[in-house]
């Protein structure tokens, strides 16, 4: 019996394989429930007392050897398996990288910028924290105008506020350049409004400004018609309604024909066939003067639109809050290359 154990120890020591299956077979044969060690330990009772010590030591040695060998072989085989360094399978197909999607507001902003870039408009940017002059006074807001009120504006101190529109950027452009000026200013704006499906305290605008000699209201109308058709399709109609802004005179609000019912009337356009998209007008001579431009020589027009509003119409989104919640299910729908 002793000899048999010594033989098994030798066998365990010399056993070698890279095959996980073979290693497992070896484990079962030596250490399994019905394995040789189990039998030998069972036979231990019959061993004469004076040999028990030696025999017991041999059995322990065999058990330790078998375990050690299995461990060694397993380690050796896992370091050369397919995840190991030396064994990369270059023929495996590449996993698809899942690319993120651009935010719908960025998509629409980029599209607006591109549409105006095609007719020569540059992009101007300015600070989000503005002084009273650039946000209000230069734009002809009277001292007591309600838009200056705490209800609309987030004031930082007596002289500074979060800009309520990007017209403030246009004041900066007019102050720092000479006409002709053709620029749009996209950016974030802030108003103290209750958050709802149609309004938010933070939103995005693109405002446009064109100043040169002999710029007329007809130029404004044609520019906006071009924009509306590029944005919403070539059959789009526009409609101008008289309105009021302190910085433009005359002023108008612009509607586009509803792109859902093609102007026939539906729930989205509240059966009017039209949807409001922007405000516009001829730059008030006072504003030109405030910014160092001679109103006797130059005229110009300005317009401003909310990017959220355009995106809602374009993608038929009925709740503005969706733009700010960053729900992946919403964002994933806007894959594009722009
Ligand atoms: N600044 C206006 C707003 O924020 C939009 C506008 C811009 C209107 C230019 C007319 C001309 O609502």
**pLDDT tens-digit profile of 74-112?**
887 766 555 555 678 888 888 877 777 889 999 999 999
Lowest-confidence region among 102-111, 142-151, 243-252: 142-151
Are 77 and 115 within one domain? no
281 lines ligand 1 (CB under 6 A): yes
> Which of 146, 147, 163, 167 is the best mutation target for the ligand 1 pocket, counting ligand atoms within 8 Å of the beta carbon and taking the most?
167
User: Is pLDDT above 60 for 69?
Assistant: yes
269 lines ligand 1 (CB under 6 A): no
User: Quick one: pLDDT at residue 119?
Assistant: 97
- CB neighbours of residue 97 within 10 Å: 5
Are 203 and 259 within one domain? yes
Classify residue 163: in a domain, yes or no. yes
**78, HSE (Cβ side, Cα atoms, 13 Å):** 5
User: Quick one: pLDDT at residue 1?
Assistant: 76
User: Quick one: pLDDT at residue 142?
Assistant: 87
Lowest-confidence region among 89-93, 109-113, 116-120, 308-312: 89-93
Are 288 and 325 within one domain? yes
User: Quick one: pLDDT at residue 303?
Assistant: 98
Question: Are residues 249 and 284 in contact, defined by beta-carbon separation less than 8 angstroms?
Answer: yes
Are 134 and 18 within one domain? no
* Whole-number average pLDDT of the chain: 90
Give the C-alpha separation, 288 to 271, whole Å: 40
Edge-first strand order for the sheet with 122-123 is: 122-123, 181-190, 202-212, 299-306, 274-283, 248-257, 238-245
Summarised one tens digit per residue, pLDDT across range 6-18 is: 888 898 888 888 7
210 lines ligand 1 (CB under 6 A): no
Summarised one tens digit per residue, pLDDT across range 184-195 is: 999 999 999 899
Classify residue 48: in a domain, yes or no. yes
Residue 241 alpha carbon to ligand 1 centre in Å? 14
- The set of residues, in sequence order, having a beta carbon less than 8 Å from that of 308 and lying 6+ positions away, is 105, 200, 203, 204, 320, 323
3-state secondary structure of 211: strand
Mean pLDDT over 58-76 rounds to 88
CATH number at residue 192: 3.30.930.10
Among the candidates 53, 83, 113, a domain finishes at: 83
Question: Are residues 127 and 121 in contact, defined by beta-carbon separation less than 8 angstroms?
Answer: no
Are 78 and 118 within one domain? no
Q: Which atom of ligand 1 is nearest to the CA of 208?
A: 9
**What is the tally of structural domains in the chain?**
2
Residue 58 alpha carbon to ligand 1 centre in Å? 95
Give the burial class of 202: count Cβ atoms within 10 A of its Cβ; 0-12 exposed, 13-18 middle, 19 or more buried.
Answer: middle
Are 226 and 323 within one domain? yes
Structural domain boundaries enclosing 293: 104-334
Tokens of 230: 């590029």
Are 20 and 116 within one domain? no
Classify residue 92: in a domain, yes or no. no
287 lines ligand 1 (CB under 6 A): no
């Amino acid at each position: 019996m002793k000899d048999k154990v010594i033989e098994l120890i030798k066998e365990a020591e010399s056993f070698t394989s890279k095959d996980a299956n073979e290693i497992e077979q070896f484990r079962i044969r030596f250490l399994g429930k019905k394995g040789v060690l189990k039998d030998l330990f069972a036979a231990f009772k019959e061993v004469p007392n004076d040999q028990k010590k030696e025999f017991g030591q041999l059995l322990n040695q065999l058990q330790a050897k078998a375990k050690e060998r299995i461990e060694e072989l397993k380690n050796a085989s896992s370091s050369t398996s397919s995840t190991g360094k030396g064994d990369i399978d270059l023929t495996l197909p590449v996993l698809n990288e899942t690319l993120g999607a651009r935010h719908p507001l960025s998509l629409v902003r980029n599209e607006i910028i591109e549409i105006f870039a095609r007719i020569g408009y540059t992009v101007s940017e300015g600070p989000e924290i503005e002084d009273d002059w650039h946000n209000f006074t230069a734009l002809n807001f009277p001292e007591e105008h309600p838009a200056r009120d705490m209800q609309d504006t987030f004031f930082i101190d007596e002289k500074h506020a979060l800009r309520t529109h990007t017209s403030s950027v246009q004041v900066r452009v007019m102050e720092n350049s000479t006409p002709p000026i053709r620029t749009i200013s996209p950016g974030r704006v802030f108003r103290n409004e209750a958050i709802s499906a149609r309004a938010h305290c933070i939103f995005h605008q693109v405002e446009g400004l064109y100043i040169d000699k002999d710029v007329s209201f007809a130029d404004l109308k044609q520019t906006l018609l071009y924009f509306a058709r590029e944005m919403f399709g070539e059959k789009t109609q526009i409609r101008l309604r008289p309105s009021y802004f302190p910085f433009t005179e005359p002023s108008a609000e612009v509607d586009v024909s509803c792109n859902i019912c093609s102007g026939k009337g539906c729930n989205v356009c509240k059966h009017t066939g039209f949807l409001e998209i922007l405000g516009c007008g001829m730059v008030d001579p006072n504003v030109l003067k405030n910014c160092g431009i001679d109103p006797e020589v130059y005229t110009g027009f300005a317009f401003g639109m909310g990017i959220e509003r355009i995106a809602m119409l374009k993608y038929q989104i009925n709740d503005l809050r969706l733009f700010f919640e960053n729900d992946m299910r919403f964002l994933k729908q806007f894959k594009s290359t722009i």
